[in-house]
Amino acid sequence: MRIDDFRGILSHRANRGRWLRTLGRAVSWQIRTRLSRPYLDLTMFDGIKMRCHFDSSIAREMIYNNGLPDYDEMRFFQHYLRPGDAFLDVGANEGIYTLLAASRLGKSGSIDSFEPNPGPLARLRENIALNGLDAVRVHPVAVGAEPGTVRFMLDDQRSHIDAASEHGESAEVSMVRLDDELSGRRYAAGKMDIEGAEPLAMRGAERMLSEANPPVWLLEVQGHVARYGLSEEEFFDWLAAHGYDLATYDSEARRLCYLDRAPAKGAADRGRPANVLAIARASRPDVEARVRA
């Protein structure tokens, strides 16, 4: 284990009061890796399990950070989601947010998870089957502004729509518009992490946005939108024009902290948020009341 991993376990807020147990699990993970064991089933989120494969950086983050690597953002969904809600996971990867939502929604809720990359898609389905999550609908497609097909770069951790004839392993995948694929369904919240293609996906969901559906989006902001010809500031100005305000979440105070502007490129490296919540302006009182309840 690297010294940075050890320091991260000690400092991460998800490990407060349990860092020794988490450290033991991380050491066990390292030993099993060296013994060529294929995976470890991690129990988290009120009994929901995740199959952690030893070649997965996402699985490592889950083990090292007690199942809450995005601490405030994941706690937001734990505080906000209710049994019977519907959740939208765009860029589900191996399914950590799908599993988190499933732990809150119960059998009466529903989840739509989108993942076009065959490697993570297989593990997403594996995790759904491991937990018997019949209410999860898997969409093995990309999401964009127009329906059709698109060249998709197949990096297991950072896969994305090809923006400029990039080199590397790729595949042709189907692409859909959310307005078409999810017609008539209402969602309590959504998460979108598609490596900078968020503006494309949102342009294909303008009807949903006009209806504040869902009223909350979690969006990753890491500077990747530039590969699609748009700055983060321009994208968030576009969201504001469509009725959504930016916020971060203070999970200790159960309080949304609204932002005057988008976090700058590389913000996560300078102590600023790596993710933001986009809250429908018309739904702010309801969203705030939910997280306080």
Cα distances from 103 to residues 3, 98, 111, 129, in angstroms, run 33, 9, 11, 14
pLDDT for 283 equals 97
Beta carbons of 164 and 156 less than 8 angstroms apart: no
User: What is the Cα–Cα distance from 169 to 184, expressed in whole angstroms?
Assistant: 36
- At 21 the pLDDT is 75
- Output the pLDDT for position 274: 72
Q: What is the DSSP letter of 188?
A: S
Q: Report how far residue 69's alpha carbon sits from residue 247's, in angstroms, rounded to the nearest whole number.
A: 19
Q: What's CA 240's distance to the chain center, in Å?
A: 21
Q: What is the value of pTM for the model shown?
A: 0.86
Among the listed residues 12, 7, 8, the one whose alpha carbon sits nearest the alpha carbon of residue 68: 12
User: Which whole-number Å values give the CA distances from 169 to 154, 156, 160, 166, 226, in the listed order?
Assistant: 6, 11, 11, 9, 21
Mean pLDDT, 10 residues at a time, over the chain (293 residues)?
A: 70 77 73 72 92 90 91 97 98 96 95 94 97 97 92 68 66 92 93 88 96 96 72 89 96 94 49 78 97 92
End-to-end CA distance of the chain: 40
| CB-CB neighbours of 124 under 10 Å | 25
Around Cβ 291, how many Cβ atoms within 10 Å? Answer: 20
> Residue 210: what are its φ and ψ, rounded to 5°?
-65, -20
Cis peptide preceding 118, ω within 30 of 0: no
- Please tell me the predicted confidence (pLDDT) of residue 273: 52
Residues 6+ apart with CB under 8 A from 288: 256
Q: State phi, psi for 4 to the nearest 5 degrees.
A: -65, -35
Rounded to an integer, what distance in angstroms lies between the CA atom of residue 124 and that of residue 94?
Answer: 4
24 Cβ neighbours under 8 A, 6+ residues apart: none
Helices (H), ranges, 47-117: 57-64, 71-80, 96-105
Structure-block tokens of residue 113 = 């998870």
pLDDT at 197: 85
CA–CA distances in Å: residue 46 to residues 42, 66, 106:
12, 13, 11
Q: By the 8 A CB rule, do 189 and 216 touch?
A: yes
Tally Cβ neighbours within 10 Å of residue 231: 13
pLDDT of 226: 72
